[in-house]
Amino acid sequence: MYNLSGKNVVVVGASSGIGAQAAVAYAKAGANVAILARRLERLQALEKELTSYGVQAVSIKCDVSDHQAIKDAAGQIFTVFPRVDILLNNAGVAVKGDLIELTEADWDWSFDVNLKGIFLMCKYILPNMIENQYGKIINISSINALISDKLPGFVRQSYNTSKKAVVGLTESMATYYGKYNITVNAIGPGFFKTEMTEGSLFKSAEFMSKHNERNPMGRTGAEEEMNGPILFLSSDASSYVNGQFLVVDGGLTLV
C-alpha cells in the first residue's frame, strides 16, 4: 500500500531539511521526483542521489513568493511529467517578532511563502490532477497552528498565523476537490532539527530545556521521522483520509 512505483511527485522546498528527506523517501519508494527550491545547486546535488535509486528526477529553481516563478516551474514540471500524482508543499519561512516588532514586509513575506505559495502551486497543479481524477496534496503546516510561542526572542506571530491559515486552506480544498478523487491533508511538525531551526531554536539552551521537559518523549524530532507520515498521506494507504491535520510532535501539543 505504500509502494509509489511509477508515481510522479513534486516536492516544493526540497533543498534541505524535511523537504530533502522526503524527496529521498519518495525515490526509495519508487516515485519519480521533481524537486523545487530557490537554491538550484542544492537541488542538483540532491538530484544525483535521487536518480541513484533508479527513478527519474528533475531540479527546478523556484521562488514560491513569486507568482511568475511558480507558473514557470509548473510549465517545466509538465514538460517532464505529463501527470502529477503527488504534491508536497513544504516551503516555509519563520520570521521572528511580535506584531509591534514586525514590519509589514516581514508579515507579507511570511504569508507569501507559507500560504500564497501553496495557493499558487495548487492553482497550476490541480487542473492536471482533476483531469486524471487522482491526486494527493500534502501541505506542511506546523504545531504552531495549535500553540503559540511566548519565550522572549522566539515569538513568531506572522509564522503562527500563516501556518494556521494553511490548515484552513487544506480543509477548504479537501471539501471541494474530494469529488475528483483528490485528497488534501496537512501535517503539523513539532520541533525538528533542520537548517531553519538549527541556528536559532537549537542554539538556545533555555528553549531546548523547556521543550524537552514538556515533551512526553523528552526530545525533538529527527528529520527522517517525518517520512512515515508523508509517505502515508501520499500513498493508497490513506485513500479515505481527507482534510485532516496530522500532528507529528512527540505528544507536545497534548500537555
User: Which residue in 71, 81, 61, 80 sits closest to 12, CA to CA?
Assistant: 61
The pLDDT assigned to 223 comes to 83
State residue 154's pLDDT score.
80
Give the CATH number, domain containing residue 49. Answer: 3.40.50.720
Q: What is the pTM of this model?
A: 0.95
Residue 205 lies in a domain: no
> Is 242 inside any structural domain?
yes
User: pLDDT digits over 58-115, tens only?
Assistant: 999 999 999 999 999 999 999 999 999 999 999 999 999 999 999 999 999 999 999 9
Residue 37: which domain range? 8-194+224-246
Q: Is 159 a catalytic residue?
A: yes
Q: Are 175 and 189 in contact (CB under 8 A)?
A: no
Number of domains in the chain: 1
Evaluate whether residue 207 is within a structural domain: no
Domain-located, residue 111 = yes
- Which of 159, 176, 177, 180 is catalytic? The answer is 159
**Is 160 a domain residue?**
yes
Query: Regarding predicted confidence, which is higher, 135 or 192?
Result: 135
Query: CA 75 → CA 67, 107, 138, distances in Å?
Result: 13, 29, 20
